[in-house]
Amino acid sequence: MTHTMLSTAADVLAGIDLAGRTAVVTGGYSGVGLATTRALSDAGARVVVPARRPDAARSALAGIARAEVDEMDLGDLDSIRAFAERFRHPSLDILIANAGIMACPYTLVGPGWEAQFAVNHLGHYALTNLLWPALTAAGTARVVAVASGRNPDWSIRWADVHFTKGYDKWAAYAQSKLANILFARHLDVLGRAHGVRAYSVNPGWIRTPLQRHLTVEEMVAAGWIDAAGVSVPGLFRTAEQGAATAVWAATSADLDGHGGAYCVDCRPTAGNPSDGSDAARLWSLSADLTGIDRIGRG
């Protein structure tokens, strides 16, 4: 079935039975993540939502069948390790790396990592590695990294990924989202022999708590909202529409032959010629920073 930018996650999963499948959705209790959790649950999946604020997550997920909450902070490797050790499901069919932060003030987490790079990328890199036994046990698992609309000017600051020489919140965000794309690209290369495929997705423009670090004045200047705080007509999708490409990448047979693809509006794109080498370089850097590389070692 062909889907469009107006399709919702429920549209994508219509007629798909996920009974007996297990999914993990980071950030799965707010915005696009909540819509993702609800759609997967409605299709029959058991959905585990690791959350930095588990009480808030339980409140948001109340009434959603088969949704479970556990505690995890993507900026804290010890917290990620503890979650992975508590994950007792014999196999993991779907991992959606959805949680993220955007344009926050300069913040260091963990052992001195810039927060956006840490939460949006390094935490998900570590989580995927630590859940690798469950992913390979599924036989046909998929990992989906929720990125953003790719700009050709995006880059990884290889010599200063933590912005110690001067912080630009938008450059840091762009770096973290490019890292999501490159992470999925290399994960698919490493995982395909083990039955694990990986993709990255652009959810489109959605107003969610992701914008919490932006002032009204910044969003007015960007042309997102008017002075009264009302969204510019036609610019933003709903959270349910934003979740569509992620659940499509997690389930669609149309992605056969497109491993590692960056997906937009429920379709794969050709990608960037430099992605292969940059993705391998990022993987090596992430392994060095986290001290974790269970997948790279086979």
Q: Which residues does the annotation mark as catalytic? A: 173
Residue 145 CB partners (closer than 8 Å, separation 6+): 97, 124, 180, 181, 183, 184, 198, 199, 200, 201
Listed residue (92, 67, 281, 111) closest to 182, CA to CA: 281
Residue 288 CB partners (closer than 8 Å, separation 6+): none
Helix, strand, or coil (residue 241): helix
> What gap in Å lies between CA 87 and CA 92, rounded to an integer?
10
Q: Which two tokens stand for residue 257?
A: 């032959």
Give the number of other Cβ atoms within 10 Å of residue 223's Cβ: 9
Q: Which two tokens stand for residue 288?
A: 């060095």
Helix, strand, or coil (residue 67): strand
Listed residue (267, 283, 115) closest to 184, CA to CA: 283
> What gap in Å lies between CA 132 and CA 295, rounded to an integer?
7
Under 8 Å between Cβ of 213 and 102 = yes
Under 8 Å between Cβ of 176 and 199 = no
Q: Identify the residue whose tokens are 């997705």.
A: 201
